[in-house]
Structure formats: structure tokens, C-alpha cells
Amino acid sequence: MKKQVFAAVILGALSSVAVAEEATVIQFSDLDANNDDALSVVEAESLPGITAQWSTLDADGNGQLNRGEYDAYTMPAPAAGTTEGE
């Protein structure tokens, strides 16, 4: 019984963290200071860890992130053990 209660508490805490992270996603338009519908490294540098992932996120290799590329950065990762279509 103690293990079940502990597991419920941990799951509740983790879901609260996930909701908090989701609520703090910065909108593309808020970062696009010059309104050119692309993010430069300078415009995106306030995001934690984005510069380390820049070459992976910049799928077309143009040195900027478009909305789709930014969405890939902000989209939550799929839950472990799930497959599409479930």
C-alpha cells in the first residue's frame, strides 16, 4: 500500500512539472523581434539549451529557425513506450 501511495505522489508531482513546463513555452512570435517569420540565434538565445541543438533544429540549414523548426524544439517528447496511433 505504501508503494502505491508513493507512486501516486511521484506521478502527481511529475505531471505538475510537465504542466508547468508546458505553460512556460515562449511563443515564436514573442521571440521573432524583427517579425521576419524566422528566428536568428540572437533572437532565440534566451531559450535554455537551444544553441546547443541549433544545427539539429535548423533542418534546412539556413542558419535560422522557421515556425516548424521551432515547434520541433517546443513540442514535448513522446512518452516512453508509446507508439503513434495509440
pLDDT tens track, the chain, 86 positions: 555 544 444 445 444 444 444 457 889 999 999 999 999 999 999 888 899 999 999 999 999 999 999 998 887 766 666 555 65
pLDDT of residue 21: 46
What cell does 77 get? 517528447
Options 2.60.40, 1.20.1050, 1.10.238, 1.10.3470; which CATH number does 2-74 get?
1.10.238
Unique residue bearing C-alpha cell 513506450: 81
What cell does 59 get? 533542418
pLDDT of residue 62: 97
DSSP-assigned states of every residue in 58-85? -TT-SSSB-HHHHHHHHSPPPPTT--TT
pTM listed for this prediction: 0.61
pLDDT of residue 27: 93
Residues ≥6 apart with Cβ < 8 Å to 43: 31, 32, 33, 34
Q: Structural domain boundaries of the chain? A: 2-74
pLDDT of residue 48: 83
